[in-house]
Chains A and B, each alone.
Chain A
Amino acid sequence: MTSKPYRLGESFGHAIDRSRRVNFSFDGKQMPGYAGDTLASAVMANGQRVFGRSFKYHRPRGVVGLGSEEMNALVGVGEGSRHEPNLRATQVELHDGLVAVSQNRWPSLSFDIGSINNTLSRFFPGGFYYKTFMWPQKFWMSVYEPFIRRAAGLGKAPDGCDPDTYEHIHAHCDVLVVGGGVAGLAAAEAAAASGARVIICDENPQFGGWADIADGTIDGVAQSEWAQAKVQRLSEAENVHVLSRTTCVGHWQHNSLILFERVADHDPALLARGTPRHRLWKVRARQVILATGSIERPIAFANNDRPGIMLAGAARAFLTRYGVAPGSSGLVFTNNDDAYQTALALKQAGIQVRVVDSRSHVDSQLPTTARKAGIEIMAGSAIAAVESSFGGLDVTGVKVAPYRKGSGRVITETRIECDFIAMSGGFNPALHIWCHTGGKIRFDEALQSFRPDTHHDRIAAVGAANGTLALGGALNEAYAVGEAAGKAALPKSKAARPKVPKALQEVQQALESLWFSPATGKYNEGNKHFIDFQNDVTAADLELAQREGYESVEHTKRYTTFGMATDQGKTSNLNGLGVLAEATGKTIPQIGITTFRPPYTPFSFGSVAGPMTRQLFLPIRRTPIYEWHKSQAAQFEPIGQWRRAYTYPKPAEEKQASIAREILAVRNSVGLLDASTLGKIEIKGPDAAALLDRVYSNMFSTLKIGRCRYGLMMNELGFLIDDGVTVRLGEDHFLMHTTSGGADRVSAWLEEWLQTEWTDYKVFVTPVTEQWAQFAIAGPKARDVLRRLDPDFELSNEAFPHLSMKEGHLGRYPVRVFRISFSGELSYEVAVPANLGRGLWDEILTAGQDFGITVYGTEALHVLRAEKGYIVIGDETDGTVTPVDVGLDGLVSKKKSDFIGKRSLEQSFLKRTDRKQLVGLLTEDPSEVLPDGAYAVQEVKDKPPMEMIGQVTSSYFSPTLQRSIAMALIQSGRARMGETLSFPLDGKVVKAKIVDQVFYDKEGAQLNG
């Protein structure tokens, strides 16, 4: 690459501070730059044009745009865990020590092996992915996917955990102005004059938009001077919040918007001081004003992607803002007047320049000025070819041919030497945010683009975003809309309205659409007219998609991937529509436009997560005994938001051994379980019993005071949603137990029915899960332990039988004791106010010492209940299982006329006898434990598909029975009792016999003992 003096003299580059040099590295190469530079301008000032390789063809690419519309120069910035991929080099502000790398190239930028795809491009047509990777199917995993993954993918993810902090801010304002160019500043000033609270944001570090590169004056001063004065005034105003480096990424219903502020990316010193790196603003605005400006269109000419070909506005900005010359000899290719300003600026900088204008007559003011300045204008011409050095690394010249709209072939051509091209195909209003929630747009013939039409929300567009490109019109519009927005917020404000300043600007001649510039050769062969640079979609690809029948623009988009890259089609969208329109003989409005979706530009995951990470990600619920569990080195498992002890291994004890020890202790002596997470809901009122009769499948109004009953809860579809034991504490007072994970859901469920269906019921539903600590003391010695705690507590089988409850004192502890069992053993559940929980827990342990009391965890609990064939909601049920399916028909009342789910159970589908039914399984090899979810098949075959007839729902090794046990839902399971089923697993087939699911103590002797 050349080492020409790309940095111009001091009269150019107002954004950079030449007294502050900064050093940075790009692809490992140390480079100098100035404070105020962007990565793009600094690298270009160092004489380098290539920033990356394209996605599909791996063609070398340089900077095309000026800001967020940049599609080629995507870079990774930062190192290690601070690396951020896919940033636009045009938006990365330079700081000392910045480390950036190019992406999508291997092994280096100037030589890339993947560029062989370019040579092979006739084998990579539109829809390539769909056509090539179709068959054979087995190639997917082994060949195609690894290939696509290696070839694709922009950038790489950072290593390690993000060390920085991120913030969320919820803000409300009367008026949000998006975009801080001249129109945005004018609208903000007008809105703020009424006293309304205004937020104005701009994605750039400096406000003013294109003011510094646009002609014309406001109140006699240059646009940029006017803009800087306005920003100053606005930032001093108390009712205005000015946010730079802040992109509005999306608009949602009821004027809710997200702004993405890059707080510290530009200054590592801020990060070091603990400033959040990014900040996400969730703004709710009464009125939104979009002053998002417009995006310049590239032109589709042959090989329009060579490094050194950029948008005219961008070329002008590099020159005037950063003092960087795009090259030494240039060509401006345009279909409008605006690009003549670029020609004039280049001329002024002493750079040789010609203008190629596709319009046949150009005689408005700007071209006339250009002519007078000695710039050659080739009207009625277009670029037919771009010549470049080997590998396409830069531009060495162009071929210019006469152009007349509608004519397809190039006959004569003139060769012109140049090393860069500034192109302008017109301007598209940036409609993205307008369209996010369904704003309507219409096609504007003069702009040859879409502009905002109507919107159902309180949102308006002004200036270039509204298609008003001329300065005077934009100012009038912005002040009027701003004033109206301010008034809408504060209708009684008597503040003086600001005077609309006077604008002076040359009138521009209308543009002429130019969607395709024909190339040398009969069929444009060997030439690529890029439409979507980032996804390497050419005009030919779009036409091919049309020929292959992808007529809808949404189909064309997905088939060719046009507009689907990280730039979301900012520069490509309309050009693509133009090509499609010409190819089909339709108009652009007939073709239609693809949907704009948030975000406008990518924003960081860190900002989305904000402070909700690590311990703030999700609250954790702990029982009163949590600290004790921790002190015993318990292994924990999450159950909903709870952390429950899974098992308590002794030092050097294996997990499985520890679980077995806990189970056997319950079976042979006594165990203690912290069951505090069990859902508890108090139901009180004259209609409490009636409510329970409605929500449970079995009867509760007949339950006697002081007795407990196991209940099943269905939804209206007849499927099980919860179960548990409910206790009658008094005539109008019940205590319902739910599953640990279901407590919140069930109390909300009861509330819903009370509020919306049985609104005349007098019942209070009060969740009391956390008010009580609850422990299960289970095992043959359970009664002995309780007696040791309090010899006066009546525990005899007669006075305190199974499924009953006693309220009283155990020693000094006020308790409710329930004789209920989930283990199948003699079992008491003791509930005590939560603040007394730990004290009672310790006393139970002391009292049980002589009986070898063993604390058991949730895994032992599950094995114990499986040995007894008890179901667990969520294991044996999956939302499509009825009480009949699990064999609990006995708990479905035949007496009650109505309860939730009753009518659905009568539907023929749920009455079929070939539904999956719960059964027990015993494997032929008693040491073989079936995996959870293993499928039973009708017949084992060499390979799938095999007809599946059911699946394992719970499976354990039972230490009590010294063999494996399982429960399963099997088609017509109960009729198959005794049959042997086959479970094909990876590399083997396990056989198991269908048995009753109660494996232990079928008679319940232990339970009632």
Chain B
Amino acid sequence: MLIVHCPVCGAEGDETDFHAAGEAHIRRPATLDPEHISDEQQRDYLFMRRNPKGLHFERWRCDRGCGKWFHAARDTATMEFKAFYLATELPPRELMEQATGEWVTFFKDKLKAAKTK
């Protein structure tokens, strides 16, 4: 039973007070450009998910609290939460740097963009 912390209202509680909803940072192609979505893009959006052992980024909802969606960075091997952040945010920079596997490519340009800023 994980302990989850809501970054919006500050509530802390058992995972049963929250709702986990899988991988975070998935972009919806139709919101960006509804006219040009290949079958592959749509497939990836709907079905393809990362399943890393180690650092992972997830969507959660504060079900019994403020009802807001937020993101969490969690180690899937030790079950330790590394950070909780808002649904509209990217993870803390050091976590983007620590990410492994398929997350590396995903965060690459984000880190680059952050550097040039």
In the complex the two chains form, is B46's CB within 8 Å of A253's CB? no
The answer, yes or no, to whether B78 is at the interface (CB within 8 Å) is yes
Q: Give CA–CA (A751, B63) in the complex, Å.
A: 12
Q: Given known contacts A757-B28, A759-B88, is B35 in contact with A897 (CB within 8 Å)?
A: yes
CB-contact partner of B46 in A437, A717, A757, under 8 A: A717
Residues of B within 8 A of A437 (CB): 79
The answer, yes or no, to whether A262 is at the interface (CB within 8 Å) is no
Question: Which chain B residues in 1-47 approach chain A with CB under 8 Å?
Answer: 1-3, 14, 28-31, 34-35, 37, 39, 42, 45-46
In the complex formed, the residue of A with least CB distance to B35 is A897
Q: Give CA–CA (A752, B39) in the complex, Å.
A: 25
Q: Give CA–CA (A903, B35) in the complex, Å.
A: 9
In the complex the two chains form, is A898's CB within 8 Å of B31's CB? yes
Q: Given known contacts A252-B1, A756-B59, A756-B87, is B69 in contact with A903 (CB within 8 Å)?
A: no
In the complex the two chains form, is A456's CB within 8 Å of B78's CB? yes
Q: Give CA–CA (A717, B59) in the complex, Å.
A: 19
In the complex formed, the residue of A with least CB distance to B31 is A757
Residues of B within 8 A of A252 (CB): 1
Report the minimal beta-carbon distance from A275 to chain B, rounded to whole angstroms.
28
Residues of A within 8 A of B39 (CB): 907
In the complex formed, the residue of A with least CB distance to B67 is A751
In the complex the two chains form, is B69's CB within 8 Å of A904's CB? no
Residues of A within 8 A of B35 (CB): 897
In the complex the two chains form, is A456's CB within 8 Å of B80's CB? yes
Residues of A within 8 A of B14 (CB): 256
In the complex formed, the residue of B with least CB distance to A717 is B46
Report the minimal beta-carbon distance from A910 to chain B, rounded to whole angstroms.
11
Most buried by B among A256, A756, A758, A897: A756
The answer, yes or no, to whether A547 is at the interface (CB within 8 Å) is no
Q: Give CA–CA (A645, B73) in the complex, Å.
A: 47
Report the minimal beta-carbon distance from A282 to chain B, rounded to whole angstroms.
8
In the complex the two chains form, is B31's CB within 8 Å of A256's CB? no
Q: Give CA–CA (A907, B46) in the complex, Å.
A: 12
Residues of A within 8 A of B80 (CB): 456
Question: Which chain A residues in 625-646 approach chain B with CB under 8 Å?
Answer: none
Q: Give CA–CA (A255, B25) in the complex, Å.
A: 29
CB-contact partner of B30 in A717, A748, A751, A898, under 8 A: A898
Residues of A within 8 A of B77 (CB): 456
CB-contact partner of B69 in A253, A755, A897, under 8 A: A755
In the complex the two chains form, is B79's CB within 8 Å of A456's CB? yes
State the interface size on chain A (CB cutoff 8 A): 23
In the complex the two chains form, is A755's CB within 8 Å of B1's CB? no
Q: Give CA–CA (A759, B35) in the complex, Å.
A: 21
The answer, yes or no, to whether A284 is at the interface (CB within 8 Å) is yes
Q: Give CA–CA (A716, B44) in the complex, Å.
A: 13
Q: Give CA–CA (A284, B34) in the complex, Å.
A: 48
Interface 1/0 per residue, A891-917 and B, CB below 8 Å: 000000110001110010000000000
Residues of B within 8 A of A650 (CB): none
The answer, yes or no, to whether A254 is at the interface (CB within 8 Å) is yes
Q: Give CA–CA (A284, B35) in the complex, Å.
A: 51
Q: Give CA–CA (A897, B31) in the complex, Å.
A: 10
In the complex the two chains form, is B78's CB within 8 Å of A898's CB? no
Report the minimal beta-carbon distance from A892 to chain B, rounded to whole angstroms.
14
In the complex the two chains form, is A254's CB within 8 Å of B31's CB? no
Question: Which chain A residues in 864-919 approach chain B with CB under 8 Å?
Answer: 897-898, 902-904, 907
Q: Give CA–CA (A551, B21) in the complex, Å.
A: 38
In the complex the two chains form, is B2's CB within 8 Å of A254's CB? yes
Report the minimal beta-carbon distance from B3 to chain A, rounded to whole angstroms.
5
In the complex the two chains form, is B34's CB within 8 Å of A897's CB? yes
In the complex formed, the residue of B with least CB distance to A257 is B1
CB-contact partner of B68 in A755, A757, A758, A903, under 8 A: A755
Report the minimal beta-carbon distance from A436 to chain B, rounded to whole angstroms.
12
Q: Give CA–CA (A751, B68) in the complex, Å.
A: 8
In the complex the two chains form, is B69's CB within 8 Å of A902's CB? no
In the complex the two chains form, is A716's CB within 8 Å of B31's CB? no
Interface 1/0 per residue, A246-268 and B, CB below 8 Å: 00000011101000000000000
Q: Given known contacts A253-B2, A456-B78, A756-B69, is B42 in contact with A907 (CB within 8 Å)?
A: yes
Report the minimal beta-carbon distance from A749 to chain B, rounded to whole angstroms.
12
Residues of A within 8 A of B31 (CB): 757-758, 898
Q: Give CA–CA (A256, B45) in the complex, Å.
A: 35
Q: Give CA–CA (A43, B46) in the complex, Å.
A: 65
Report the minimal beta-carbon distance from B30 to chain A, rounded to whole angstroms.
5
In the complex the two chains form, is A254's CB within 8 Å of B42's CB? no
Interface 1/0 per residue, B73-109 and A, CB below 8 Å: 0000111100000011000000000000000000000
CB-contact partner of B3 in A284, A717, A748, A897, under 8 A: A284
Residues of B within 8 A of A284 (CB): 1, 3
In the complex the two chains form, is A903's CB within 8 Å of B29's CB? yes
Residues of A within 8 A of B68 (CB): 755
In the complex formed, the residue of A with least CB distance to B77 is A456
Q: Give CA–CA (A252, B39) in the complex, Å.
A: 42
CB-contact partner of A903 in B1, B3, B42, B67, under 8 A: B42
Q: Give CA–CA (A227, B40) in the complex, Å.
A: 68
In the complex formed, the residue of A with least CB distance to B79 is A253
In the complex the two chains form, is A902's CB within 8 Å of B88's CB? no
Residues of A within 8 A of B46 (CB): 716-717, 904
Report the minimal beta-carbon distance from B67 to chain A, rounded to whole angstroms.
7
In the complex formed, the residue of A with least CB distance to B45 is A716
Residues of A within 8 A of B42 (CB): 903-904, 907
In the complex the two chains form, is A902's CB within 8 Å of B30's CB? yes
Residues of B within 8 A of A758 (CB): 31
Question: Which chain A residues in 754-768 approach chain B with CB under 8 Å?
Answer: 755-759
In the complex the two chains form, is B34's CB within 8 Å of A902's CB? yes
In the complex the two chains form, is A903's CB within 8 Å of B87's CB? no
In the complex formed, the residue of B with least CB distance to A754 is B69
Closest 4 CB pairs of A and B: A898-B34, A256-B1, A456-B78, A755-B69
Can you list 11 A-B pairs, Cβ within 8 angstroms, ordered by A? Answer: A254-B2, A256-B14, A284-B1, A716-B28, A752-B69, A755-B69, A898-B30, A902-B30, A902-B34, A903-B34, A904-B46
* 16 further A-B pairs in the complex, CB-CB below 8 A; given A252-B1, A902-B30: A253-B1, A254-B79, A284-B3, A437-B79, A456-B80, A716-B45, A748-B67, A752-B69, A755-B68, A756-B69, A756-B87, A898-B30, A898-B31, A903-B29, A903-B34, A904-B46
Residues of A participating in the B interface, judged by any CB pair closer than 8 Å: 252-254, 256, 284, 437, 456, 716-717, 748, 751-752, 755-759, 897-898, 902-904, 907
